[in-house]
Amino acid sequence: MKLVKLLANLGYGSRKEVQRMIKSGAVTDDEGHVLGEGNLPPHEKIRIRGEELDPPSPLTLILNKPDGYTCSTDDAGDTIYDLLPTRFACRNPGLNPIGRLDKDTTGLLLLTDDGKLLHRIIHPKSHCLKVYHAVLDRPLEGHEAGLFASGELLLNGETKPLLPAGFEALSEKEALITLHEGRYHQVRRMFAAAGNHVLQLKRLSIGGLQLPAELEEGEWRELRPEELEAVFEKP
């Protein structure tokens, strides 16, 4: 790959903008030698105005999603990409959420530019279970565990019943839900089918990966290799 293409793919600008940046001498190696379009030292040795480059592809991030942010690139309001460096929304390949969360759902969200990894994690056959904490409007009635575990629950407008889902009541109006799949507004629609309403929803884990306690709402970082392995482990 050429230097111009590498930097443009990392979102540092259009090819023209990157060419101008290189001509201005802003792109150097780690010893301060100015790089030209024909140079391509190893990724970790390239600097832009003295700063290390963003990580190369494949890149996977972990984010503690706050309330009020959509998992979309083209929403008029706040999006999860507003929480990342501006460049990250312009990367090629692009960073996509692994299983979207609703605007008002919080918690564990992974983003990746690795399409194969994304499909591996979201495919029900991978058994990467997702656990959600739900706060409800009305007291639980006691029929929820059976209804959700039945494998027969048909959501409004759908023809295929839901796979059996796990349910654990935590208090009168709080529960943990474990899903094998990720349908549109699934947890909210499951509770609607049970005659209740979800007030708050937070994703706590994917597979054996828990939302790290030190990751504050709105914070993100690169996913560590051992954390990626945990995604495929049974919780």
Instruction: Verify binding: residue 105, ligand URA, rule CB under 6 A.
Output: yes
- Residue 106 found at the interface with ligand URA (CB under 6 A): no
Among 87, 185, 197, 224, the residue binding ligand URA under the rule CB under 6 A is 185
> Near ligand URA by CB under 6 A, which window of 61-69, 79-87, 157-165, 185-193?
185-193
**Size of residue set near ligand URA by CB under 6 A:** 9
Strand residues in the chain grouped as ranges (E): 27-29, 46-48, 51-52, 60-65, 96-97, 105-112, 130-136, 166-171, 174-179, 198-206, 209-210, 220-222
Which candidate in 29, 102, 104, 114 is catalytic?
102
Name residue 207's amino acid: G
Dist. CA 19–CA 22, nearest whole Å: 5
3-state secondary structure of 7: helix
Strands 198-206 and 130-136: antiparallel
- From the list 53-61, 99-107, 140-148, 217-225, the region that binds ligand URA by CB under 6 A is 99-107
- Does 188 bind ligand URA (CB under 6 A)? Our answer is yes
- Taking the complex as a whole, how short is the minimal distance between the CB of residue 152 and ligand URA, in angstroms? 19
Q: Which is nearer to ligand URA, 59 or 108 (CB)?
A: 108
Q: Interface with ligand URA by CB under 6 A: which residues? A: 101-102, 105, 132, 185-188, 201
List the catalytic residues: 102
